Amino acid sequence: MRILLVEDEKTLSGYIAKGLQNSGYAVDAVYDGEEALYEYAVNGYDLIVLDLNLPKKDGLDVLREIRRKDVNIKILILSARSAVDDRIIGLDEGANDYLVKPFDFGELEARIRNLLRREFSQIPTTVTLGLLSLDTKSKQVSYDGTEINLTRKEYGILEYLMIHKNQVVSAEEMTEHVWNHTFDPFSNTFRYHIHSLKKKLHTVSALDCIKTVRGQGYVMEDKA
């Protein structure tokens, strides 16, 4: 899952970005409202964490502009503006959630998880496919009860494929949601990670859980 983090306080931004990355999210951090709109326009995000007091363009204007174009993207406002009126305005303008600073990182993460679950509304905390089970909260994966140790990127790829089971997903789509803008589309990085993921799954299950569809992408089929 890929998150755009719009927060001009660099220390706070670094702290949030690091925490979210440790939880397996791909995070792009920007520091003003104009940059936020630019990154939003060129990348595919699953969720935006948006501060309101921002240089160049106010967070509420950013929110309005994005909402005009996109009714589906999840937007969580993270702001020091704590008055009820501010919260009402934020939610009325289309934010999905509003968290007041100072905040607890665990709560921010729980709210992000909750919003992303609503986006993929069929997805509970635990996603299963055959004997394969993935916990979107603890980021743990197991096959028939045996835990599989995955890297963050491997986990991200697997989660995306399991959430989109029975659909062929292209490498481009997955890299868009699993990597941030430091990803080099001409590198072999994606192939390296998916190969390693397939190998780990094969070792524990003796099955090719992820099928390659030549020229199109990858699919995980639910045979049940």
Q: Which residues bind Ca ion (CB under 5 A)?
A: 8, 51, 53
- CB closer to Ca ion out of 24 and 59: 59
The DSSP secondary structure of 142-154, one letter per residue, reads: EETTEEE---HHH
Minimum distance, C-beta of residue 30 to Ca ion, in the bound complex (Å): 12
- CB closer to Ca ion out of 8 and 135: 8
Minimum distance, C-beta of residue 55 to Ca ion, in the bound complex (Å): 8
- CB closer to Ca ion out of 54 and 163: 54
213-to-101, 167, 171, 219 alpha-carbon distances in Å: 46, 11, 11, 7
Q: Cβ–Cβ contacts within 10 Å for residue 22, how many?
A: 11
CA distance linking residue 112 with residue 133, whole number of Å: 21
Minimum distance, C-beta of residue 178 to Ca ion, in the bound complex (Å): 28
Determine the residue with CB nearest Ca ion: 53
Structure tokens that stand for 35 in this block: 């940059």
- CB closer to Ca ion out of 39 and 154: 39
CA distance linking residue 81 with residue 133, whole number of Å: 40
- CB closer to Ca ion out of 6 and 209: 6
Minimum distance, C-beta of residue 5 to Ca ion, in the bound complex (Å): 12
Q: Which of 175, 157, 177, 176 is nearest to 220 (CA)?
A: 157
Minimum distance, C-beta of residue 87 to Ca ion, in the bound complex (Å): 16
Q: Which residues of 83-109 are buried (b: 16+ CB within 10 A; e: fewer)?
A: eeebbebbeebebbbbbeeeeeeeebb
DSSP 83: S
Minimum distance, C-beta of residue 9 to Ca ion, in the bound complex (Å): 6
- CB closer to Ca ion out of 8 and 119: 8
